[in-house]
Structures are given as structure tokens and as C-alpha cells.
Chains A and B, each alone.
Chain A
Amino acid sequence: MIYYVFAFTLIGLGLFAIMFKKNLFKIVIGIELMTAGVNLLFIAVGFVVGGTAPIFEESAKFSGFVDPVPQALILTSIVIGAASVGLASALALRAGSAKGGDLDVH
């Protein structure tokens, strides 16, 4: 349960940064915080008590897995998050240099 609270705290902090920070890079960091919160939430929802990582082993006996579907979804989400943060910071850098190094939104 504490994982849900923590994930939503991360999402809230990211949302707060996006809404109230002026610096473009801080906004990008806010987007990244929200992504991290959503990822953590999905993994926490997929967790099963006593479940192991969803990988079969030749020697070990099958004893219940955690849900593999959220993990696969979050794998995609992490990659897309990395790509979007790269693109967003390139945009921020470009916008800043167009205004002579001023990275704030007004």
C-alpha cells in the first residue's frame, strides 16, 4: 500500500513541478518524475505476494509469478520516457538559446 502512496506522491510532485516551475529543465524533470510515478504504480499493482520474477527456471519448481503484463508495458513506457525526455530537453535547449540562454517561461 505504501508503494501506491509513494507512486502517487511522485506523480503529484511531477504535476506540481510542471504547473509551477518556470525553468524549462525543471518542467522536463517534472515530466520525468510523473513517468517514474506511473511506472512504479503499474509495477506495484502487478505485484503478488510470494510471486517471483516471471521467468521459468529449469531446476526450480513453479511457485507463482508476479503479473508479467504490467512489467512488459512499463518496459515500453521507460523507453518512450527516455526518448521523450531527450526530445524535450533538446527543445528546451533550443528555445533557451533562441532567447539568448534564458531558460524560463514567462
Chain B
Amino acid sequence: MKYAVGFFVVAVLVTLFLLPIAELGFGTDKMNDLVAKYYISNGLADHGAANQVTGVVVSYRGFDTLGEVTVLLLASLGVGMLLAQRYDTERPRPGFVTEYGARFLAPYLLVFGAYIFIHGHLTPGGGFQGGAVVATTLALLYLVVMGFQRPRALYWIETLSGWVFAGLGIAGLIVSGSFLSQIMPLGQPYRLLSAGIIVPIYVAIGLKVGIELSDIVKYFYKGGDQA
């Protein structure tokens, strides 16, 4: 009875919200000279990235993305604090094929993740997507390789990536008076070395997101112990 009433209430609520949205129409161009039109017509000249989503995320809304990376860092710190006292429980040892299959795949997956975040300004993807692939690789290794430890250098890389992002922002503040402004040459569009500060920022984001997301996975396995 409670379920039925609840289901009915939710259904009515959802329909009430759906009706005004449905009036918008599906598939019609809703950009009429608003911000999206500006982004599309001026994007290539403003930030030089072929991928306009990357342009919006890293260039026009770069400050917002810095906040987003901070949220991810805080969440991973929170998970580490909450699960600090858990220890790895007994797990059955994975089979030979599983373990060595994962070890064989891992470098290729890492290269694929790196490709996605290095080419974030040219092809679909970017720092967050590539970081997710890197984190998936590390999660796979945690899952099947007994006693897997990440190299300690990753902690320094994560810190350094955060500083690269914030440092480029502050450098823009010093050089041209606004945070995260384009201080590097835009170069020729559609080339790997183009789009100025977008490439170093997205590489930094990719490394940072990959290491932080795998931190979260690690805490669920082992708790916040050493390394």
C-alpha cells in the first residue's frame, strides 16, 4: 500500500516536471544566438581547440573545472578518512590466466588512457575520460594482482599536476591580468601542439583524475594504509 501510494506520487511529480520540458521540443536548435552560438563561431579563434566541448570545459569555464578537480580531491580524501581502518580481507587468489591477462593488458590500457587525454583538444575525450581509463587500469590491477602497490612516484605526479593547473592559472593572472588566460601560442589548429594552455592542463587533469579515482578504489580494497 505504502509502495503503491509512493509510486503514484513519484509518477505524478515526474509527469508534472516532464510536461514543460516536453514543450521545448526534441532535436530543434535551441541555441538562438545565445552563449552556445558564440562558443561555436568564435571557439577556434579564441582557444584554438577543435573539440568545442574541451574548449568550453578548459578555456571558457576553466575556473569551474579547477573547482571540479578540487571536489574530486576532497571526495578521495573523504573516502580515505572514512575507510582508514579497513584492511584487506581474505580473497581467493585469481587464476593464472586472469592475473597475467591483466598484467598483459595494463600497459596498453595506460597508453590508451594517455592517448585520450593528450588528444583531448582534437578528438572526443579529454582529461576526465582518459583519467577514468587510467583509473580503470589501476583498479584492474588492484583486483587481480595480489599485493599490488602503485609506485610512490604517483603521489608526486598527482601533486605536481595540481600545481601545473593552478600555476598556469596564476601565470595567466600575472602575464595578462586574468586567471587561466591563454598565455601560450595557439599554434595551427588541428595539430597536436596547438590550443595553447589546453594541452598541458588536460594532461595534468588526466593524470590527477586517474590517480585520484584509483585512490578511491584502493581505499575500498585496503583502507588508507601505507602507499
Physical interaction between A and B? yes
Bound Cα distance from A60 to B84, whole angstroms: 53
Bound Cα distance from A28 to B10, whole angstroms: 18
Within 8 A of B (CB), among A1-22: 1, 3-5, 8-9, 11-12, 15-16, 19-20
Contacts of B220 in A (CB 8 A): 89-90, 93
- Contact (Cβ within 8 A) B26 A93: no
Contact A1-B36, Cβ < 8 Å, known A12-B13, A65-B52: no
- Contact (Cβ within 8 A) B18 A4: yes
Bound Cα distance from A45 to B3, whole angstroms: 31
Bound Cα distance from A69 to B44, whole angstroms: 15
- Contact (Cβ within 8 A) A68 B50: no
- Give the contacting residue for A8; candidates B18, B30, B36, B190; CB below 8 A: B18
Against B, the Cβ 8 Å flags (1 = close, 0 = not) of A62-104 are 0011011101100110111011101101110110010000000
Bound Cα distance from A55 to B220, whole angstroms: 37
Q: How large is the interface on B (under 10, 10 to 19, 20 to 34, 35 or more residues)?
A: 35 or more
Contacts of B72 in A (CB 8 A): 79-80, 83
- Give the contacting residue for B26; candidates A9, A44, A53, A54; CB below 8 A: A44
- Contact (Cβ within 8 A) B50 A76: no
Bound Cα distance from A67 to B11, whole angstroms: 29
Give the total of A residues in contact with B, Cβ under 8 Å: 49
Asked if A105 CB lies within 8 Å of chain B CBs, one says no
- Contact (Cβ within 8 A) A78 B128: yes
Contacts of A78 in B (CB 8 A): 128
- Contact (Cβ within 8 A) B76 A67: no
- Contact (Cβ within 8 A) B50 A55: yes
List, sorted by A's number, 29 A–B pairs whose CB atoms are closer than 8 Å.
A3-B26, A5-B18, A8-B21, A11-B14, A16-B6, A20-B3, A45-B30, A48-B28, A48-B31, A53-B124, A55-B123, A56-B44, A56-B51, A56-B52, A57-B190, A58-B189, A65-B52, A67-B36, A68-B52, A68-B56, A71-B56, A72-B61, A75-B57, A76-B64, A83-B71, A83-B75, A86-B79, A87-B82, A90-B219
* Extra 15 A-B pairs, beta carbons < 8 Å, given A56-B189, A67-B30, A72-B56: A3-B26, A8-B15, A8-B21, A12-B11, A45-B21, A48-B31, A54-B40, A54-B52, A55-B124, A57-B50, A71-B56, A79-B209, A83-B71, A86-B76, A97-B86
